[in-house]
Amino acid sequence: MATPAPWSPRADAVRVVSYNVRGFRDGLGRVVAVVRELAPDVLLLQETGSRRDLRRFVAETRLRAAHDPWSLLRRRVKNAVLLAEPWSLDSFRLERFADARRWYPRGALVARASAGSDRIWAISIHLGLDGAERARQAERVTHIVAELDGGLVIVGGDLNATPDLRATSRIADALRDAWALAGEGEGCTFPASTPTARIDYVFVGEGGSVVGAKVGAEGAAGASDHLPVAVDVRLEDG
C-alpha cells in the first residue's frame, strides 16, 4: 500500500480524528506518531487499552482526555475523547449501552468542549459485533444526539458495520457522514494492512461544514488493525 501523503492542518477548521487503536498492542509509540502527523484538535479513540497505557499516551501527545470513570464492579468501556489547545473540556459522561454483552461492554463517551465562543459535542462510540445489537446501539446514539444542544455535534468511532448496514444508516439519517461529503474513494479502514471495509466513521451535525476528509497516515498500517479517519470541519458562526 502506498504511503499516504502528508496532510497539513487547516487553520480555519477543526480537525477531528476517529481511531480504534487496538489497545496500543502494536506499539504505543506508533500510535503517537500517527496522531502527531494528523495533528487533531479533537481525537476520538476506541479500544484504549489499560488506564496506564492511556495515561502514557495522553502524556506523550499532550492532549486533554475524557475517558470512562473508575468502576470496581464493571468492565471498562474503553472509549475516550482527547482535545488539543485551545479546546478545553467542559464536561463529559459515559453512556453504557444497556444491551451490550457483559464481557464486551459497549458505549458512547460524550464530551462537551469549548474554545472561546465555539462549542462542540464530541462523542466516541464503539458498536457491537452482532447486527441486531449494533442496530439498537445505533438507535441509542441517535437518541443521545437528539438530547444535546448548544454546539455542533460530532460522532466518531468503530461501528463494526459497512455503510450499507442498518447501524450505519440509522446514524447517517440523523447526522451527516463526513466521508460521503468530502472523502475520495471508498474510504476503507479495516484491516489496516490491506483495507477492504469501511467500518470507522465521523458524523457531523448541523452547524459545521465538512471541508476535507482523509483515511490513514504514514505508519498507520503498522500502528493498529484499523486506519484512522481524519475530517476537517469548519464551524459556522453562531
- Give the Å distances, CA to CA, from 72 to 11, 69, 76: 43, 10, 10
- Is residue 4 scored above 50 in pLDDT? no
Matching residue, cell 506499539: 27
- Is residue 11 scored above 90 in pLDDT? no
Spell out the domain ranges in the chain. Answer: 14-235
pLDDT at 98: 85
The residue with greater pLDDT, 238 or 62, is 62
User: CATH fold of 14-235, please?
Assistant: Deoxyribonuclease I; Chain A (3.60.10)
Mean pLDDT of the region 108-113 = 97
pLDDT at 102: 66
- Is residue 238 scored above 60 in pLDDT? no
- Give the Å distances, CA to CA, from 213 to 28, 69, 96: 24, 31, 29
Nearest to 135 by CA among 97, 102, 105, 104: 97
Band (pLDDT 50/70/90 cuts) for residue 75 is confident
Lowest model confidence (mean pLDDT) among 68-82, 121-135, 153-167: 68-82
22-73 confidence digits (pLDDT tens): 999 999 999 999 999 999 999 999 999 999 999 999 999 999 999 988 776 6
pLDDT at 180: 96
The chain-wide mean pLDDT, for the chain, equals: 92
pLDDT at 10: 66
Distance CA 124, CA 233 (A): 16
Mean pLDDT of the region 71-84 = 86
Residues 6 or more apart whose CB falls under 8 angstroms from that of 146 comprise 174
Distance CA 212, CA 210 (A): 6
- Is residue 1 scored above 60 in pLDDT? no
- Give the Å distances, CA to CA, from 98 to 16, 78, 128, 181: 27, 16, 12, 32
- Is residue 108 scored above 60 in pLDDT? yes
Peptide bond into 86 cis (omega under 30): yes
Band (pLDDT 50/70/90 cuts) for residue 19 is very high
